[in-house]
């Protein structure tokens, strides 16, 4: 049996956007795909507000860690999706890479104001990522079904 295709979501710090996308894609795609995230300059932590807004929709990011994209250079990465311009520019080619997509989003880590105002920004980014990555996941699942590889 072959391993499910690996989809790698990249951003610069791997503290917010890429984790939001990873969590949402994992839930949407299920076991037919492996989803991971990494950064070109990892922050070393997952932003607490990212964890919080994902918990609001039933996705647990509390065990996620910030990783460098180089950790994946020896893996068969089928698809790379960048969620910020810096990661798109720094993105290397990975072994087995067939697809590359760029879906840029505002970095909620730069939100200012009260905690509630910052949470509003995190929720807006989460919901934007959910819309784009939800449509992407539907397309990938349809493709896999037609090929007889899942579901």
Catalytic annotation on 150?
A: no
Please pick, among 16, 91, 150, 151, the residue that the annotation labels catalytic: 91
Say if residues 22 and 103 touch (Cβ distance below 8 Å): no
Distance of CA 79 to the CA centre of its chain: 11
Query: Which residue is catalytic, options 11, 16, 150, 151?
Result: 11
Is 151 a known active-site residue? Answer: no
Cα Rg, the chain, nearest whole Å? 15
Neighbours of 113 (CB within 10 A): 10
The one catalytic residue among 16, 84, 150, 151: 84
- Residue 84 is among the residues annotated as catalytic for this protein: yes
Q: What is the DSSP annotation of 55-70?
A: HTTT---TT----BGG
Helix 115-146 / helix 48-55 crossing angle, nearest 10 deg: 60
Give 7's strand partners: 35, 79
Residues annotated as part of the active site: 11, 84, 91
């Amino acid at each position: 049996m072959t391993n499910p295709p690996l989809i790698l979501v990249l951003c610069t710090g791997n503290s917010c956007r890429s984790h939001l996308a990873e969590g949402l894609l994992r839930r949407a795609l299920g076991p037919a795909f492996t989803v991971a995230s990494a950064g070109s300059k990892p922050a070393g932590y997952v932003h607490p507000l990212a964890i919080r807004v994902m918990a609001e929709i039933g996705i647990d990011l509390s065990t996620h860690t910030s990783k460098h994209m180089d950790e994946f250079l020896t893996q068969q990465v089928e698809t790379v999706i960048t969620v910020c311009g810096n990661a798109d520019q720094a993105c290397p080619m990975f072994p087995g890479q067939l697809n590359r997509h760029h879906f840029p989003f505002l970095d909620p880590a730069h939100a200012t104001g009260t905690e509630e105002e910052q949470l509003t920004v995190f929720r807006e980014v989460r919901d934007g990522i959910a819309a784009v990555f939800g449509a992407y996941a539907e397309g990938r699942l349809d493709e896999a079904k037609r090929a007889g590889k899942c579901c």
